[in-house]
């Protein structure tokens, strides 16, 4: 099928390379690059996208800031590259709420994330509604929520803080991003399978499945920003990122199989006196024949693992980074924690202070810190939608059936017209009422970190609980120092992870008794 297309792609590459070189040189010389991508003959804006592939989020922010929060982009004829890029809240409300049925994920989105095809994040219409209803029912179980909170609290106390204590006592620097990834991998798998993978421990066991998830999101990013015919050709030839992705898919399928087997072994020993055995998300889906077919089951479990691990783990890393740059904010968080911690310190002066999920639920400033981080560093910086039928956006732009819409969450948090002149400043106070006792209302189409409309994140409260528990327990017990000389930049991925991680050192805080 692709053999006849190969000479076409060879010619395309030969055309792109010199234009890419010229565009890169022009961009380097120009102190004020053009607002819109250069529209080349035949290739249109494809070379501009190619030249900025490694910094697409910043590139979108630059272009959107100079073009009124919206712009169009086109690629070579026949590639299907017809994009409408936006961070306009009015357009986002239209896409996610007012006329959301006209903006599905689409078949190409499911192809891009093929390992999750059939899962909640890749489907539309009635199948999506059915799965969403099922997941909402599962996550509303008080017994399961109580277990998720207990698992989080216990994992922080018995693994994370012990590991931090060891790092602090030995003065060892470490990659905070990797530790947050390990922590959230365990906390994602435990509610799903009822089994602890045990990645967060002193011996730092291999984390092949977690690395495979990173590969899925990195290759998906590549698939999102290049014409579909390009990556499909690479998949057919089994070369480049597609070869790496194929291996990652195999690792993830093996992981799901192994965890399912461990779950069955645990379930067979329910009579061992452990009252919480059998309380897991998988149990609810295995009771429904609709979800037990192998491909569907893999799609569901891998979708949940990626959503639960990547979003929270990435957000936690950026929170620690931003707090290290703002010690005054750390002091305010500790002051907010102090009334809770005081009686714990009085009762056990030399013990680590653990904050229960119920104790941090009402902490307003800590939540403002989380939201401010998510505003500037949304874990999923880009949303992708298709246009089902011709439409006119609130901004006045026409979109046509078959167009792709890219919503830049990363850019939206950096727009002066949306957040004010201090939009680039890290300022949790922007989320607080004048007296500081309540959160200000910010509509979801302006703050899209938890999505909006019918696809609003069902795990929002769980994610906030986990982030609060980790941040509160870490900041009260330790000072976190980010090592100097690091280049902090995001990797090219659908998840806003740091390219080289975040290297930190910890120092145990001396408490006044």
Tell me the pLDDT band of 384, cut-offs 50, 70 and 90.
very high
Q: State how far the Cα of 130 lies from the Cα of 120, in Å rounded to an integer.
A: 9
What proportion of the chain, given as a percentage, has pLDDT over 90?
67
pLDDT digits (tens, 9 = 90+) for 308-350: 999 999 999 999 999 999 999 999 999 999 999 988 887 677 7
Give pLDDT, residue 399: 97
Give pLDDT, residue 35: 62
Give pLDDT, residue 14: 43
DSSP 509: P
Instruction: Decide if pLDDT at 5 tops 70.
Output: no
DSSP 352: P
CB neighbours of 172 closer than 8 A, spacing ≥ 6? Answer: 166, 505
In this structure, are strands 174-175 and 503-508 parallel, antiparallel, or unpaired? antiparallel
Tell me the pLDDT band of 54, cut-offs 50, 70 and 90.
confident
Instruction: Decide if pLDDT at 19 tops 60.
Output: no
How would DSSP label each residue in 150-181?
A: HHHHHHIIIIIHHHHHHHHHHT--EEHHHHHH
Instruction: Decide if pLDDT at 511 tops 90.
Output: no
Q: State how far the Cα of 355 lies from the Cα of 465, in Å rounded to an integer.
A: 11
Give pLDDT, residue 271: 52
Instruction: Decide if pLDDT at 79 tops 80.
Output: no
Binding positions for heme: 457
pLDDT digits (tens, 9 = 90+) for 405-462: 999 999 999 999 999 999 999 999 999 998 888 999 999 999 999 999 999 999 999 9
Give pLDDT, residue 512: 52
Binding positions: 457
Instruction: Decide if pLDDT at 96 tops 60.
Output: yes
Tell me the pLDDT band of 172, cut-offs 50, 70 and 90.
very high
The stretches of 325-459 forming alpha helices (DSSP H) are 327-347, 357-360, 364-376, 409-412, 416-419
* Mean per-residue pLDDT of the chain: 87
Please say whether the beta carbons of 378 and 372 come within 8 A: no
Nearest Cα to Cα of residue 219 among 190, 240, 199 = 240
Q: Which of 63-77, 285-299, 444-458 has the highest mean pLDDT?
A: 444-458
CA angle at 203 for the pair 302 and 323, rounded to the nearest 5°: 70
> Which residues is 398 bridged to in the sheet?
392
Please say whether the beta carbons of 77 and 366 come within 8 A: no
Q: Which residue has the higher pLDDT, 42 or 12?
A: 42
Question: 258: how many CB neighbours lie within 10 A of its CB?
Answer: 14
pLDDT digits (tens, 9 = 90+) for 232-284: 999 999 999 999 999 999 999 999 999 988 888 876 665 544 444 446 888 88
Question: What domains are defined for the chain?
Answer: 1-98+382-412 (no CATH), 99-378+413-508 (1.10.630.10)
Please say whether the beta carbons of 505 and 481 come within 8 A: yes
Tell me the pLDDT band of 78, cut-offs 50, 70 and 90.
confident
CB neighbours of 84 closer than 8 A, spacing ≥ 6? Answer: 70, 71, 72, 387, 393, 397, 399, 403, 404, 405, 406
> Which residues is 175 bridged to in the sheet?
503
Nearest Cα to Cα of residue 38 among 56, 19, 57 = 19
Mean pLDDT along residues 132-159: 92
Mean pLDDT along residues 198-225: 91
Give pLDDT, residue 393: 97
Q: Which of 31-40, 65-74, 319-328 has the highest mean pLDDT?
A: 319-328
Mean pLDDT along residues 506-511: 87
Q: State how far the Cα of 486 lies from the Cα of 402, in Å rounded to an integer.
A: 42
């Amino acid at each position: 099928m692709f053999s006849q297309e190969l000479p076409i792609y060879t010619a395309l590459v030969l055309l792109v390379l010199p234009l890419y070189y010229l565009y890169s040189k022009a961009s380097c010389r120009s102190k004020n690059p053009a607002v819109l991508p250069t529209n080349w003959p035949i290739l249109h804006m494809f070379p501009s996208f190619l030249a900025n592939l490694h910094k697409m989020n910043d590139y979108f922010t630059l272009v959107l800031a100079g073009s009124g929060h919206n712009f169009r982009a086109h690629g070579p004829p026949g590639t299907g590259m017809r994009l409408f890029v936006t961070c306009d809240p009015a357009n986002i409300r239209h896409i996610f709420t007012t006329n959301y049925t006209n903006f599905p994920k689409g078949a190409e989105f499911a192809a891009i994330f093929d390992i999750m095809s059939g899962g909640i994040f890749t489907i539309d219409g009635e199948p999506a509604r059915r799965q969403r209803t099922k997941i909402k029912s599962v996550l509303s179980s008080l017994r399961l929520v109580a277990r998720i909170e207990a698992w989080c609290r216990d994992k922080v106390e018995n693994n994370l803080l012990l590991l931090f204590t060891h790092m602090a006592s030995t003065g060892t620097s470490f990659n905070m991003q990797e530790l947050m990834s390990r922590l959230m991998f365990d906390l994602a798998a435990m509610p799903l399978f009822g089994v602890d993978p045990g990645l967060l421990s002193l011996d730092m066991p291999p984390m092949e499945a977690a690395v495979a998830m990173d590969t899925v999101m990195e290759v998906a990013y590549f698939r999102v920003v290049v014409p579909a015919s390009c990556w499909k050709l690479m998949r057919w030839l089994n070369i480049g990122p597609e070869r790496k992705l194929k291996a990652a898919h195999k690792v993830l399928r093996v992981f799901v199989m192994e965890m399912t087997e461990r779950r069955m072994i645990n379930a067979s020993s329910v009579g061992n006196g452990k009252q919480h055995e059998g309380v897991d998300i998988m149990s609810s889906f295995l009771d429904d024949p609709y979800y037990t077919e192998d491909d569907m089951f893999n799609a569901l479990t891998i979708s949940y693992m990626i959503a639960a691990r990547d979003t929270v783990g990435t957000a936690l890393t950026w929170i620690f980074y931003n707090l290290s740059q703002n010690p005054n904010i750390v002091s305010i968080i500790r002051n907010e924690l102090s009334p809770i911690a005081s009686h714990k310190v009085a009762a056990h002066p030399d013990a680590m202070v653990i904050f229960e999920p119920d104790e941090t639920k009402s902490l307003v400033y800590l939540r403002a810190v989380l939201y401010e981080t998510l505003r500037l560093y949304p874990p999923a910086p880009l949303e992708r939608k298709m246009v089902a039928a011709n439409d006119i956006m609130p901004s006045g732009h026409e979109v046509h059936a078959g167009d792709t819409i890219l919503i830049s969450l990363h850019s939206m948090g950096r727009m002066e017209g949306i957040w004010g002149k201090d939009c680039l400043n890290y300022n949790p106070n922007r989320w607080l009422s004048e007296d500081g006792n309540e959160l200000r209302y910010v509509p979801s189409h302006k703050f899209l970190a938890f999505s909006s409309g019918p696809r609003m994140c069902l795990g929002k409260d769980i994610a906030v609980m986990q982030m609060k528990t980790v941040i509160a327990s870490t900041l009260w017990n330790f000072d976190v120092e980010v090592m100097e000389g690091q280049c902090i930049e995001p990797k090219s991925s659908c998840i806003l992870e740091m390219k080289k991680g975040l290297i930190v050192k910890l120092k145990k805080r001396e408490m006044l008794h």
